[in-house]
Structure 1
Amino acid sequence: MAGELAGHAGDAANHGIDLIPIVALLAAAAIAVPIFKRLGLGSVLGYLAAGLLLGPSGIALIADPSSVLAASELGVVLFLFIIGLEMEPSKLWALRKQIFGLGVIQVGLCGALLTGVGILLGFAPVVAFVFGMGFVLTSTAIVMQILGERGELNSPSGQKMVSVLLLEDLAIVPLLGVVALLAPHEEISLTTRLISVGVAVGAIVLLIFLGRRIMNPFFGILSRAKVREVMTAGALLVVLGAGLLFQLSGLSMAMGAFMAGVLLSTSTFRHQLEADVEPFRGLLLGLFFLAVGMSLDLGIVGENWQIIALSVVAYMLVKAVAIYVIARVLKSDHAEALERAVLMGQGGEFAFVLYTTAVTAGIIDGPTNAIFTATVIVSMVLTPFAIIAMQKLMPKRVQPLDGVELADGLNGSVLMIGFGRFGQIASQSLLGKGHKVSIIDNDVEMIQAAQPFGFKIYYGDGTRLDVLHAAGAGNADLVLVCVNKKGDATKIAQLLRHEFPLVKVMVRSYDRGHAIELREIGVDFELRETFESALQFGAHAIRVMGADEIEIEEMIEGVRVRDRARFEAQVLGGVTAGTGLLLSNAEDQARESGIAPTVKLVAAEEKEERAN
């Protein structure tokens, strides 16, 4: 079978592009991933299994997995760019203690312990150091993928793991330098080292300059062309260009892409960039997992199964225990600490880079590199199974407090997320019409306070995908997002649109900018939380000043019409568009100052048009 396929592939290659491997990769992913997800094993394991089938240890349709792995690492690069888009500089600054505190502690302690494990396994101290530090670098691709599927990237526990992953991505740079220093019979002058550091710093400064001064105007020019594929090409140019800049300067491509994402996180084109890059990210990240599966050489595993099995168990166990202890010492609860230990207990893709560099430097030989690489790959393959085991063995979460039930198996035709002041008022019309409304909130005190008034509120965090499923979002006709935190509302809207595209979604927006953001996400309806109350407040103000009810009604309707027109203009042209639709007191102030007005009020223009 494999021989026939190889023959067909050779014939196809002689006549043009060999499509058989491409079709096989796509087919394997399209078949294996849904099956594994249906079995509750997750998409990552599906990709790994499909890759193992297609690789040298399977039907050998793809004989050189390293070439696929090299190309597919762009998936990790694009993934970190998207993560960067969600990390505004202020948010990243808020995580500085977790990145350089928790991250440094975890990398340092785990590195020391795993180096000791390597020495106990019989490796020379320098070799044990390389083995251990490579295994310390957790798989960003696996952890991010699992957190993303569970909707926990922005949760407190998820943010801690993301912070550690960022520090580990940074750590690969000095680790590569240390490996170069450990290389036998090789002297590197101080001047060379200083030049390397200078080049790296220069690359960072250059990217910051480009991000702050060039990128936003660049995308503005592209957007005016009104050609979608041009924007897509521009997005890929920025991601890959930033990655290339960092790679040429001796830094990590992934870190370059992440930094570019952070610099564009406050851009008006942020969501369009994310939408343009996302399909490539998903495809290439899936290809990465396929390549990892293909790279697992069962022949090497069979020949060295004792040392590999012992290494996998020892390294994963020691690393997981260290992570758990660190988490507990730093005040995380048992469930969060255990979850972090299991999720981050494997080695990662940067280990391959470190081990390859160590081979080039003469620290380890080819067979040792194969053992180290197989150990990391097996640990990556075992991670989804470890997560499943943890979920089955861990007791179900206890209810937060007596009398408060967790959201589970809800089936209302309307799901309301958030029951603060806004949600309480919004619920009355629906309940008055007899609709079945399921309500969830993550404020225990509010839930308990609502009980004496006859409300049944379930405990649940709407920013988590598993909670949305348990709350019945997939079966609801309408979901109302009434939470009072802007970031939570945005995250929930994104999850709903991505996971439940057929459900109608209405969202309480924080301000005009947030409303534009929600419109770009694709919600069916949004309402600024202060808009209607401010209109009624203004209506009563002109009533006090002598306006009759007809004038009040006309004026309020005029404000609504102009606001709607301005909003549509801002969706297309940015926050400064439609400024002329605002009624301003500038003309009155100019007249009082004796300065001729240069801008005619919109109200006067409308009156003139009606007169004509």
Structure 2
Amino acid sequence: MAAESAGDLIRVVALLGAAVVAVPLFKRIGLGSVLGYLAAGLVIGPYGLQIIGDPHAIIHLAEFGVVMFLFVIGLEMKPSHLWGLRRQIFGLGSMQVIISAILMTIVGTQFGVSWEVAFVSSSGFVLTSTAIVMQVLGERKELSTKRGQKIVSILLFEDLLIVPLLAVVTFLSPFEKTEASMPWWQSAGIAMLALAALVFIGRFILNPVFRILANAKAREVMTAAALFVVLGAALLMEEAGLSMAMGAFVAGVMLSESAFRHQLEADIEPFRGLLLGLFFLGVGMALDLKVVAENWQLILLGVIVLMFTKGICIYVVARLAKSTHKTALERALLMAQGGEFAFVLFAAALSKGVIDETVNANMTAIVVLSMVLTPLILVIYEKYGAKEVAEEIEPDEIDEQHPILIIGMGRFGQIVNDLLRLSGYATTVVDLNPNMIKGFNEYGIKSYFGDASRREFLIAAGLEQAEMLVVAIDNKAQASDIVHFAREVNPNIKIIARAYDRFHTFDLYEAGVNEAVRETFDSAVRTGRVALENLGMEPEVAKEIAEYYFHADRHEVKLMSQVYDPQAQFFKNPALRDIARECDQKMAAEIQEILVRAKEKEQEES
């Protein structure tokens, strides 16, 4: 017993040690964490140092890492947002899967196997590795971007496919069908009932339960409850014939609007990261070097042909869906590998007699090799291929509209958005800088890339229904045009705009703005106040003068906007000149009165 325990401990230490050494090393040399885990698994596995002899047991356990990853992704997707992705899930996902499966089946028959074997092998390869793709997207901080969400949508559709594919394997089986076997419609009905039950529990039961547990103030119980929800949902879906990952994702979506969302994510994260790393270690161990050595020509050719065929299909579908060349190419390189569900499908096909041991071993090696090669291909592409001339980036698709629309997230718009967001208001944020948008999405502030000078883009962003528009861009002409268009299509909207200077303020009022805020006015007034204090004036007096000047000058600008003529120069417009002189005299008199009052007060106190 002691020797067996020591052996188990050695294996655990080997797993942890391999990850601790390999992952930082591979990340340091720019190859990424996934490739580090795969290499570490290969070294300590049965075809390396033979410290661990059963990689499939490791993979089976570590699949819970993928399950937890899907739960965390679900927490980030509200039901309304997921509904907005329905066309991508069932449209883009089905198109990619169907085209890829047909072409790869045709290619598979060219290797001299029957169409049944080619179909099963191709179907397994169609199911992309959720673990690898999610890990790469997570490391790149792209899960919340438009491109990342399209990829997640396709992965969700592929997860749903495991049920009908397993049914097809049973149908193709040469073994006699027993009367006890369940008809496909009954299996589908059970799966739908289980899904409906999970949705009901998530919507009406989980929140009250978590509220009770939170009131108990036992942190470990909340962690146990989080794990119970994830694993319970996974078990329910697996028993119903669906994938565990799908169950966890649905549970996450149902809790995405819960007040305990962030607590759940924090509780699950350590387990998710550890188990996902363990999964990649298991995949590295599962690469049977003997099979590869014996059939290396066939396996290498299979990897190249299947990855190339799948990649071409993904690229074509992405282009048909109006993605740019760069976006389509990157999606093809990221998703061209087989996935972990292929192992499930191949095992079922082997047990049903659809494929034999040799095909199972070769296809498993091909899938594992494709998973191993994907991170390496991405590294090579990022180093050499991504440096090509940048092309025009397509605007984001607005999938959420809010009452407040903010145009521009530079140094000015950021502050406005922060004040509104932190005060509890939902905003739709638009900017023309893709790096800025990517950064804010990584930070957790939902933002969209697009040109607000395009009227159709403003309409898509919800301008017609919005209650307020904040124009915070630094392009004077575009700002005035946006204000003018907004006032046309939504007469009741409140419009606040950033003005470059006094004359731009006049233009904005003419265009229909409610409030125009000069971009340097507030800071200039504050600078003047600080200057007065440094000249010896009491801070309270300087503050009173600055506040008076702030309101008086804004009133002056509003008066001037009523008589402003853009065709006449400032000093040749008598009405503007008269208003300026009159207001200057009033302000001087009022400020002198403030100084006199302050001096009298000082004398009284002394």
TM-score range, shorter chain: 0.5 to 0.7
Structure 2 counterpart SS, 1:460? helix
Residue 395 of structure 1, CA deviation: 4.8
Cα distance in 1, alignment partners of residues 274 and 212 from structure 2: 28
1:231 is matched with which residue? 222
Q: 1:179 aligns with which of 166, 169, 172?
A: 169
After alignment, is 66-75 or 388-397 more displaced? 388-397
How many pairs were matched up?
A: 428
Alpha carbons 1:150, 1:464 under 8 Å: kept: no
Which position in structure 2 is the counterpart of 1:588?
none
Q: Distance in 2 between matches of 1:37 and 1:157?
A: 24
Shift in CA distance, 211/423, structure 1 to aligned 2, threshold 3 Å: closer
Code of the residue aligned with 1:443 in structure 2: it is: D
1:55-70 matches, cutoff 5 A? 55-70=45-60
* Distance in 2 separating the partners of 1:326 and 1:60: 43
The residue type equivalent to 2:77 in the other structure is: M
Structure-2 change in CA distance of 1:390 and 1:47 (3 Å): same
- Matching of residue 244 in structure 1 with residue 201 in structure 2: no
Alignment partner of 1:45 is 2:20: no
Amino acid at match of 1:110: S
Contact 1:300 1:371 in 2 (8 A): yes
- Aligned partners of 1:85 and 1:291: how far apart in 2? 27
Name the CA distance, whole Å, in 1 between partners of 2:410 and 2:85: 29
Q: Which amino acid aligns with 2:123?
A: M
The alpha carbon displacement at 1:117 in A equals: 1.0
Confirm whether residue 82 of structure 1 aligns to residue 57 of structure 2: no
Q: Any gaps of 5 or more consecutive residues in structure 2?
A: 393-407, 419-428, 449-467, 469-495, 497-539, 545-606
Deviation digits for residues 259-307 of structure 1 (CA, Å, limit 9, x no counterpart): 1111111111111001100100000000000000000010110011111
Counterpart-to-counterpart distance in 1, 2:184 and 2:56? 30
Task: State the TM-score, normalizing by the size of structure 2.
Answer: 0.67
Of residues 158, 166, 169, the one that matches 2:159 is: 169
Q: How does 1:380-419 map to 2 (within 5 A)?
A: 380-396=371-387, 398=389, 418-419=409-410
SS in 2 for 1:277: helix
**Alignment partner of 1:275 is 2:263:** no
Measure, in 2, the Cα distance between the counterparts of 1:82 and 1:313: 33
CA distance in 1: counterparts of 2:411 and 2:176, whole angstroms:
66
- 1:127: how far off? 0.3
State how far apart, in whole Å, the 2-side matches of 1:378 and 1:224 are. 49
Matched, 1:460 2:448: no
Give the counterpart letter for 1:463 in structure 2.
Answer: K
CA, structure 1 residues 295+191, in 2 after alignment: closer, same or farther (shift >3 Å)? closer
Shift of 1:244: 0.4
Within 2, Cα distance between the matches of 1:148 and 1:421?
29
- Of all paired residues, the percent bearing the same amino acid is 55
Q: 1:425 to 1:207 in 2, by over 3 A?
A: closer
Asked if structure 2 preserves the Cα contact closer than 8 Å seen for 1:152 and 1:464, the reply is no
CA contact (8 A) 1:242 1:257 kept: yes
| Distance of aligned partners of 1:121 and 1:274 in 2 relative to their CA distance in 1, 3 Å threshold | same
How far the C-alpha of 1:192 sits from its partner, in A, is 3.5
Partners of 1:18 and 1:395 in 2: CA distance: 45
Give the deviation of 1:464 after TM superposition. 4.4
Work out whether 1:487 is the aligned partner of 2:446. yes
**Unaligned 5+ residue runs, structure 1?**
1-9, 402-416, 428-440, 448-458, 469-480, 490-509, 511-529, 531-548, 554-612
Match of 1:331 in 2: 322
What residue number does 1:221 align with? Answer: 212
Preserved contact between residue 23 and residue 33 of structure 2 (Cα < 8 Å) = yes
- One-letter amino acid of the structure 2 residue matched with residue 324 of structure 1: Y
Q: Determine if contact 2:343/2:364 at 8 Å carries over to the other structure.
A: yes
Counterpart in the other structure of 1:434: none
List per-residue Cα deviations over 1:227-281 (Å, max 9, x = no partner): 1111000000000000001111111111011111111111111110011001000
1:109 paired residue number: 99
Task: Give the Cα–Cα distance (whole angstroms) in 2 for the partners of residues 69 and 166 of structure 1.
Answer: 20
Find the aligned partners of 1:30 and 1:424 in 2 and give their Cα distance.
41
Equivalent in the alignment of 2:396: none
User: Quick one: distance in 2 between partners of 1:370 and 1:58?
Assistant: 18
Query: Runs of 4+ in structure 1 displaced over 4 angstroms?
Result: 188-191, 397-401, 424-427
Q: SS at the partner of 2:336? A: coil
* Matches of 2:416 and 2:213, distance apart in 1: 44
**Could you tell me how far 1:421 is from its partner in structure 2?**
4.3
**Residue identity opposite 2:435 in structure 1:** G
Q: Is the 8 A contact 2:175 2:352 kept in 1?
A: no
- Picking from 260, 270, 286, the partner of 1:295 is 286
Q: Kindly state the Cα deviation for residue 191 of structure 1 after the two structures are TM-superposed.
A: 6.0
Alignment partner of 1:443 is 2:431: yes
**SS of residue matched to 2:446:** helix
Structure whose alpha-carbon radius of gyration is higher? 2
Question: Equivalent residue for 1:378?
Answer: 369
Contact 1:88-1:262 within 8 A present in 2 as well: yes
